[in-house]
Amino acid sequence: MMARSHLLSPAFRALSARLGQDPLQVQGPGGNTSIKDDTVMWIKASGTELANAENSEIFVAVDRSAALAEAREEAGDGSCKSTVLDASIGLRPSIETTFHAALSHSVVVHTHSVATLVHATSVQGLALLEAKLQGLPYTIVPYAKPGLPLTKQILSKSDAETQVIILQNHGLICCGASVEEVSNLVAEVEARLRMPVLAQTDSDVDEAPLDGFTWSEESWIASDAVACKRVLSGSYYPDHVVFLGPALPILDHDGAPPAVVQKGQGILLRDGATSSQTAMLRCISDLLSRVPEDWTLNAIGAEAEASLLDWDAEKYRQALAERT
């Protein structure tokens, strides 16, 4: 089967790169985009960054029918590793390849949109979101572990007409027949869901940091009583767990956490922290600074965190991210 590289149009690469370079849309190696015809689907490779879509070969071609069979649990293990058309490239398709294959639209974009997360992590936010998205072909999908569990939830909550999918505690999916249509749809959803920065986010810590750390730009969280309580109470989306660990700790420990909260002072960022870890710390800051104080944030919970930490696919993604 031919890989049909013509599908990777300049417009598709440009949209992918633009989303990847916007920290309010995508953080580090998060998010993924795909473009397909009836037989071939090109999708971002696991651990690569959408920001590099125009200057690096970050996409992998897969057999669309084989990937669809994995999505329906008719074959394979859901990883879609065996569906790659050119195994010599040495990259795995995204851990979310199954839902890209299962959605019928030619172009599918998945981001970890901060505007979406602000709404999709609380009951109050979801109620407001339903009013804001009125008139759009959208659905809301409960939190599920990325991969097959999430694909099942998406398929159970959507149909051929659905173009906007809100993933609770995870992010946004927009689908369409063309790059232009999806680009416009993403812009429309972002405009409707945009939330202002409500917190005072200036970070100026007078005391010297602990050896091996620097004060992060997100140190305001530790001095804001509501934000500090929230950041210590749990994890609100998968990539926080994958790259920063569950919640944020208040003490350094043997696990060498990349970030440590010093209540009332700031957040310590470990020397040598990866760009992915830094991006995730900014993401939690961007989220917490926009959530109204009277909203109740719902964490994904200890069981979901443990499932992510023990997952081989995510360990692979972490390993690739550490090389960048």
Condensed to tens digits (0 to 9), the pLDDT of residues 19-59 reads 999 999 999 999 999 999 999 999 999 999 999 999 999 99
Give the per-residue pLDDT at 191: 98
Answer yes or no: do 178 and 89 share one domain.
yes
| Residue 214 burial class via C-beta count within 10 angstroms: exposed 0-12, middle 13-18, buried 19 and up | middle
Of 159, 193, 227, which marks where a domain is finished? 193
Q: Give per-residue pLDDT as tens, 74-92.
A: 999 999 999 999 988 888 9
Of 135, 160, 193, which marks where a domain is finished? 193
Question: Rounded to whole angstroms, how far apart are CA atoms 65 and 83?
Answer: 9
pLDDT tops 80 at residue 317 = no
Of 193, 228, 260, which marks where a domain is finished? 193
Answer yes or no: do 69 and 107 share one domain.
yes
Domain-embedded: residue 277: yes
Q: Are 304 and 242 in contact (CB under 8 A)?
A: no
What residue numbers bound the domain in which 156 lies? 5-193
Answer yes or no: do 275 and 188 share one domain.
no
Give the per-residue pLDDT at 89: 86
Answer yes or no: do 282 and 161 share one domain.
no
- Res. 318 pLDDT band, cuts 50 70 90: low
Q: How many domains does the chain have?
A: 2
Strands 40-44 and 171-176: unpaired
pTM: 0.94
Domain-embedded: residue 201: no
Distances (CA, A) of 206 to 209, 223, 252: 9, 13, 20
DSSP string for 172-226: EEEEESSHHHHHHHHHHHHHHH-----S-------SPPPTTEEE-TTTHHHHSHH
Question: Rounded to whole angstroms, how far apart are CA atoms 217 and 274?
Answer: 15
- Res. 93 pLDDT band, cuts 50 70 90: very high
Mean pLDDT of the chain: 94
Helix, strand, coil shares, percent, the chain, to 5: 40, 15, 45
Helix H or strand E encompassing 62: strand 59-63
pLDDT tops 60 at residue 320 = no
Give the per-residue pLDDT at 59: 97
- Res. 239 pLDDT band, cuts 50 70 90: very high
Give the per-residue pLDDT at 4: 73
pLDDT tops 80 at residue 188 = yes
Residue type, 302: A
As given in the structure block, the two tokens for residue 259 are 């970030």
Give the per-residue pLDDT at 87: 84
CATH number of the CATH domain containing 34: 3.40.225.10
